[in-house]
Amino acid sequence: MKMPKRQEFEENKYYHIYNRWRYKQTLFHDRKDFQRFLWYISTYKEKCKEDVWIVAYCILPNHFHFVLHNKSSSHKISYFVWNICASYTRYYKAKYTASKWLTFFESRFKSKVLNDERYLDQCIHYVEFNPIKHKLTDHIEKRIFTSYDKNSKKTTPNEEILALDWEFV
């Protein structure tokens, strides 16, 4: 499979970033898997804090979504997402004794630039309500692996692990 060309991320733009495990198989089997992924997000968020802001996120059993703000014209978004995925892949292979040759993700992550405020708001809503779209819950308040609680000014159990940079108003 030919990998897509690395995208150039423009300064001061918002991006919808997403990826899923190949064949749509489950990537996060239990709460600890979700928490480990959040821990990697938090770790690399700290390393990229001058260049990348997390606006919204959602982690589902077989894929994830981010809305990110690229504050500089560097490749920090690529660095951020690649390191999260690579770190989680190593964790998963060790925990579940998966083959070291197993390819996890369908391809390099996908991204779409969010050119205007209306599209940005629609994308944040889409990302945060993705568990409802996939029929994982009837009430978004029950789904803690999204930024919905933080962005709606509620408290959330994973707030200590992952504090968002941007408040949804």
Share of the chain above pLDDT 90, in %: 12
Lowest-confidence pick of 10-24, 32-46, 83-97, 123-137: 123-137
Does the structure show a pLDDT above 80 at 142?
no
In this prediction, residues 95-124 reach a mean pLDDT of: 81
CATH 2.60.120.10 fits 13-159, yes or no: no
159 pLDDT higher than 50:
no
Q: Where are the beta strands (DSSP E) in the chain?
A: 13-20, 52-59, 63-70, 110-114
CA-nearest of 114, 116, 51, 115 to 80 is 51
- Provide the terminal-to-terminal Cα distance of the chain, rounded to the nearest Å: 42
Could you give the CA distance from residue 73 to residue 75 in angstroms, rounded to a whole number? 7
CA 18/CA 108 separation, integer angstroms = 9
What the block records as the tokens of 81 is 């997402």
Q: Determine the average pLDDT of the residues in 125-146.
A: 63
Q: pLDDT-derived band of residue 83, with 50, 70 and 90 as boundaries?
A: very high
Indicate the average pLDDT of the chain: 76
Residue 97: count of CB within 10 angstroms of its CB: 8
Instruction: Please provide the DSSP assignment of 122-143 as one string.
Output: HHHHHHHTHHHHTTS-S-GGG-
Q: Residue 92, Cβ neighbours under 10 Å: how many?
A: 20
Q: What is the pLDDT of residue 100?
A: 67
SS percent in the chain: helix, strand, coil, step 5: 40, 20, 40
**pLDDT band at residue 75 under the 50/70/90 scheme:** confident
- The answer to whether residues 74 and 10 touch, using CB atoms and an 8 Å cutoff, is no
- Tokens 């998966």 belong to 98
Task: Please determine, for residue 154, whether its predicted confidence score (pLDDT) is greater than 50.
Answer: no
Contact present, 51 and 74 (Cβ < 8 Å)? yes
* Cα–Cα distance for residue pair 8/146, rounded to 1 Å: 27
